[in-house]
Amino acid sequence: MDTKKPLVSVRNLKKHFPITGGILQRQIGAVKAVDDVSFDIFKGETLGLVGETGCGKTTVGRTMMRLYEPTSGGIIFDGVDLIALGESDLRKIRQRMQMIFQDPYASLNPRMTVGSIVKAPLDVHTKMNSKEKHDRIQELLDIVGLNPDFVNRYPHEFSGGQRQRIGIARALALEPALIVCDEPISSLDVSIQAQVVNLLEKLQKELGLAYLFIAHDLSMVRHISDRMAVMYLGKIMELADRDSIYLHPVHPYTRALMSAVPIPDPDSTAAHDRILLDGDIPNPKNPPTGCNFNTRCPVAQDRCFVEEPEYREIKENHWTACHFAEVTP
Amino acid sequence: MTSIIEIKNLKTRFFTADGVVKAVNDVSYTMESGEILGVVGESGCGKSVHAMSIMQLIPDPPGKITNGEIIFEGRDLLKLSDAEMRKIRGRDIAMIFQDPMTSLNPVFTVGYQIVEAIRLHNDVTKKEARKRAGELLALVGIPGAEERLDDYPHQFSGGMRQRAMIAMGLSCEPKLLIADEPTTALDVTIQAQIVDLVKKLQDELGMAIMWITHDLGVVAEMADRINVMYAGSIIETGEIHNVYKRTKHPYTTGLLGSLPRLDDEPGTELTSVPGLPPDLLALPEGCAFAARCGYRDEKCVAERPILEKIAGYDHQVACWHWEKIEGDGK
Ligand SMILES: Nc1ncnc2c1ncn2[C@@H]1O[C@H](COP(=O)(O)OP(=O)(O)OP(=O)(O)O)[C@@H](O)[C@H]1O
Ligand SMILES: Nc1ncnc2c1ncn2[C@@H]1O[C@H](COP(=O)(O)OP(=O)(O)OP(=O)(O)O)[C@@H](O)[C@H]1O
Ligand code: SF4
Ligand SMILES: [Mg+2]
Ligand SMILES: [Mg+2]
């Protein structure tokens, strides 16, 4: 893939959730939420993960941190094989991988002050004395742009954007190398989204953080990412640097997805070239055979309904899973 | 063009235990028949309450329309009796609500609900209404429309439910369709289908559409004119190119600057608007945007600016210093 050593390598990762039924609640099938996904994340970079509701983005993030037990596949984090780790080693290494969540209301304990929320990871994982902890909390609040005098306030006294900053301060407490950002701005208003995204970009520059940035908003993901992965029904359809994904997408799904994004400019002609997809995303309990995009693909051929396309590197650092990627103009 | 609806000095208040929520503050504007008006602004700025005021569906108590006129085809809707207003609702003015799951009743089939909507305003038999309902579902692009009439809402996907809502909204061929965030909950490929559908229907049927949304992209694509709301007031309004390309309100400028565009040069910095919108329980005396505004001076803090017409353009702005603002609209 690259001569640089990745911070995280995910290989052939699968996470299937059982579907149970009948009076005995026996397993009668599986939702293939993540189905054979491979990617790397390098130190200090942002990998954007996009795709429509239910395509498996959150499950990728959580399984990669082994918050979900993978069905199969490999995860190497900074040279360590996460799959092989026992519970206590795993807890130690998770200090270096943190997560921030979509809902800044639900993810903070309403009965804890801001100070104690940010302090909790320091209590559990460090041997700092109380003076050191106090100083570190002040420093963290300052880094994320919150007034350090707010330490004794409760989450409900803050706006959505401010709560997201509290979540970021908590995630930074143990100096992680990687933060999984799962829709960190989706619940915020536009003018507040930019505040949080600018903060995440600043922190990345200063602290050398890597991000897995999960979101629906393609314009925002393209803005913040170095590389982007496009998911559909549990699989990565295409992965490349952000300009290749935007300017030279080869997968028909990526093309349709990019063309569907409205541009906030009444003179933009992008909508004229829009590729409208028919129908809806298939039920993930019962995905199509062959290529999983075949029910909506505007260029599907007979082969697409019988043979699953291989996920492969078609150009340097440009990966995709479409039978016709090499011949796409 | 003739105007279809004219709203004058509309004020809507909620009288709550914590105080008076000033949700809609002196809103005035006109919609022409057949035009698409985009209404944008951040969460809580009064978009839905202003639309519910037009429909007179504000829960009372705690809500009340305390001032204004809503002139629709020469009559002030605020002076009509409940019975007269019920006739207008659905027949002349239809509304699609923010959450399709709450506005489609889960215990009745989709077909039954459309049939009832049709029969409420038209003297037709059940059979005729059912035929019409099937045609409407087909019109909004639901495959196998006839058979799908007997499905319950939960058997529809999110996109199909939104289409069914549009079908119901269109059932009496209203002159004005108010759509409150009709695509916000949908994925972008499904949103593209709905936007395309609504543009086609508008071409065919010629009704006026008010499209309420957070998404400045969708508005740019489909609207003729736009109202930008902030803290219960319209702070900038006009023909779409004027507002996007010659932006004159610092809030609109900030909003456009905080949006990344898919076709941006990479590395373009987002110009975020600092701070937060004001509390509608305690609106400041002067300009509601003053606390967040880089152009603020004493006058802004003391006196509230009202919409002022920019000579020669279909464009109005409520800012004391709009002439200083170089809206290149990116
Ligand atoms: N704990 C679970 N048990 C069973 N199925 C699950 C579970 N979590 C997720 N799924 C299913 O796995 C699929 C992928 O879900 P996931 O939450 O990862 O999607 P997503 O891409 O994050 O969607 P969204 O954009 O809506 O957040 C969905 O079909 C979902 O219903
Ligand atoms: N029943 C109510 N009682 C008290 N306040 C209310 C009530 N309904 C709405 N409000 C207040 O009126 C203001 C305007 O709300 P409205 O729903 O119109 O916002 P909106 O612009 O539609 O926001 P969103 O984008 O989140 O839908 C808000 O401050 C809201 O809290
Ligand atoms: S009136 Fe003053 S505070 Fe309000 S937007 Fe204009 S310059 Fe800013
Ligand atoms: Mg998710
Ligand atoms: Mg609303």
Amino acid at B11: K
DSSP string, A87-100: HHHHHHHHTTEEEE
CA–CA gap between residue A303 and residue A228 (Å, rounded): 27
Q: Is A222 on the interface with B (CB under 8 A)?
A: yes
Q: Is the pLDDT of residue B157 over 80?
A: no
Ligand closest in space to the Cα of B325: 3
What are the two backbone dihedrals, phi and then psi, of residue A66, each rounded to the nearest 5 degrees? 55, 30
Can you say how many angstroms the Cα of residue B280 is from the centroid of all Cα atoms in its chain?
19
Ion ligand 4: protein residues whose beta carbon lies under 5 Å: A 58
- Token pair belonging to B248: 């004159």
* CA-closest candidate to residue B210, choices B174, B250, B251: B174
Q: Of A37-46, A229-238, B11-20, B148-157, give the lowest mean pLDDT range.
A: B148-157
* Chain A hits for B218, Cβ within 8 Å: 262
Q: Ligand 1 within 6 A of A284 CB?
A: yes
* Chain B hits for A242, Cβ within 8 Å: 266
CA–CA gap between residue B149 and residue B103 (Å, rounded): 17
CA–CA gap between residue B243 and residue B224 (Å, rounded): 11
The predicted pLDDT at position A306 comes to 97
Give the pocket of ligand 2 (CB within 6 Å). Answer: B 14, 16, 21, 23, 41, 43-49, 59, 62-63, 280
CA–CA gap between residue B205 and residue B187 (Å, rounded): 26
What are the two backbone dihedrals, phi and then psi, of residue A210, each rounded to the nearest 5 degrees? -105, 145
Residue ranges per structural domain of chain B: 3-92+174-262+270-324
* Top mutation candidate among A20, A31, A185 for ligand 1, by most atoms within 8 Å of CB: A31
DSSP conformation class of B5? E
Q: Is the pLDDT of residue B126 over 50?
A: yes
Asked whether B229 and B41 are in contact (CB, 8 A), the reply is yes
How far B265 CA sits from the closest chain A CA (Å)?
Answer: 9
Please count the CA atoms within 13 angstroms of the CA of B304 that sit on its side-chain side: 14
* Chain A hits for B191, Cβ within 8 Å: 260, 262
Neighbours of A17 (CB within 10 A): 15
Q: Of A58-67, B98-107, B163-172, B239-248, give the lowest mean pLDDT range.
A: B98-107
Three-class SS of A295-325: CCCCCCCHHHHCCCCCCEEEECCEEECCCCH
The predicted pLDDT at position B100 comes to 57
DSSP conformation class of B277? P
The predicted pLDDT at position A22 comes to 77
CA–CA gap between residue A247 and residue A215 (Å, rounded): 20
* CA-closest candidate to residue B187, choices A196, A230, A46: A230
* Chain A hits for B273, Cβ within 8 Å: 191, 194-195
The predicted pLDDT at position B36 comes to 96
Contact B273 A194 (CB under 8 A): yes
Q: Which residue, judged by its Cα, is nearest atom 1 of ligand 3? A: B319
Mean pLDDT of chain B: 90
Render the burial of A311-329: b for 16+ CB within 10 Å, e for the rest.
beeeeeebbbbbbbbeeee
Distance from the alpha carbon of residue B50 to the mean position of ligand 2, in angstroms: 9
How far B161 CA sits from the closest chain A CA (Å)?
Answer: 12
The predicted pLDDT at position A2 comes to 46
Q: Is the pLDDT of residue B273 over 90?
A: no
For B146, B165, B174, the CA distances from B124, given in Å and listed in that order, are 18, 21, 17
Q: Is the pLDDT of residue B193 over 80?
A: yes
Q: Which residues pair with A241 in a beta bridge?
A: A227
B3-92+174-262+270-324: CATH topology: Rossmann fold (3.40.50)
Render the burial of B233-251: b for 16+ CB within 10 Å, e for the rest.
bbbbbbbbbbbbbbbbbbb
Q: Is A329 on the interface with B (CB under 8 A)?
A: no
Q: Is A218 on the interface with B (CB under 8 A)?
A: yes
How far A156 CA sits from the closest chain B CA (Å)?
Answer: 15
- Which stretch of DSSP H or E encloses residue A229? strand A227-232
Amino acid at B46: G
Asked whether B180 and B102 are in contact (CB, 8 A), the reply is no
- Token pair belonging to A104: 């800044």
Angle between helices B250-257 and A190-207 (to 10 degrees): 50
Considering only residues A159 and B258, tell me which one the structure prediction assigns the higher pLDDT: B258
CA–CA gap between residue B248 and residue B322 (Å, rounded): 5
A54: left (phi over 0), alpha (psi -120 to 50) or beta: left
CA angle B192, B197, B202 (to 5 degrees): 130
Report the residue of chain B nearest A269, measured CA to CA: B221
Distance from the alpha carbon of residue A48 to the mean position of ligand 4, in angstroms: 13
What are the two backbone dihedrals, phi and then psi, of residue B141, each rounded to the nearest 5 degrees? 85, 30
Q: Which residue, judged by its Cα, is nearest atom 8 of ligand 2? A: B49
Contact A264 B259 (CB under 8 A): yes
The predicted pLDDT at position B300 comes to 97
What are the two backbone dihedrals, phi and then psi, of residue A27, each rounded to the nearest 5 degrees? -70, 125
Grouping H, G, I as helix, E, B as strand and the rest as coil, residue B154 is helix
Grouping H, G, I as helix, E, B as strand and the rest as coil, residue A284 is coil
* CA-closest candidate to residue A185, choices A170, A200, A204, A169: A200
Burial of A28 (0-12, 13-18, 19+ CB in 10 A): exposed
DSSP string, B61-129: TTEEEEEEEEEETTEEGGGS-HHHHHHHBTTTEEEE-S-HHHHS-TTS-HHHHHHHHHHHHS---HHHH
Contact A198 B191 (CB under 8 A): no
CA–CA gap between residue B6 and residue B68 (Å, rounded): 11
Q: Is the pLDDT of residue B97 over 90?
A: no
Distance from the alpha carbon of residue B327 to the mean position of ligand 3, in angstroms: 14
The predicted pLDDT at position B101 comes to 59
Which residues of chain A are modeled with pLDDT < 50?
1-2
Grouping H, G, I as helix, E, B as strand and the rest as coil, residue B60 is coil
Grouping H, G, I as helix, E, B as strand and the rest as coil, residue B140 is coil
Asked whether A243 and A236 are in contact (CB, 8 A), the reply is no
- Which stretch of DSSP H or E encloses residue B326? none
R_g of chain B, CA atoms, integer Å: 21
* CA-closest candidate to residue A161, choices A223, A104, A98: A104
The predicted pLDDT at position B102 comes to 65
Looking from the CA of residue A18, the nearest atom of ligand 1 is 4
Distance from the alpha carbon of residue B263 to the mean position of ligand 1, in angstroms: 30
The predicted pLDDT at position A166 comes to 92
CA–CA gap between residue B21 and residue A329 (Å, rounded): 57
Report the residue of chain A nearest B222, measured CA to CA: A266
The predicted pLDDT at position B329 comes to 44
- The H-assigned helical ranges of chain B are 47-55, 82-88, 100-103, 110-121, 126-139, 145-148, 158-170, 188-205, 216-222, 240-245, 250-257, 298-302
DSSP conformation class of B173? -
Report the residue of chain B nearest A262, measured CA to CA: B217
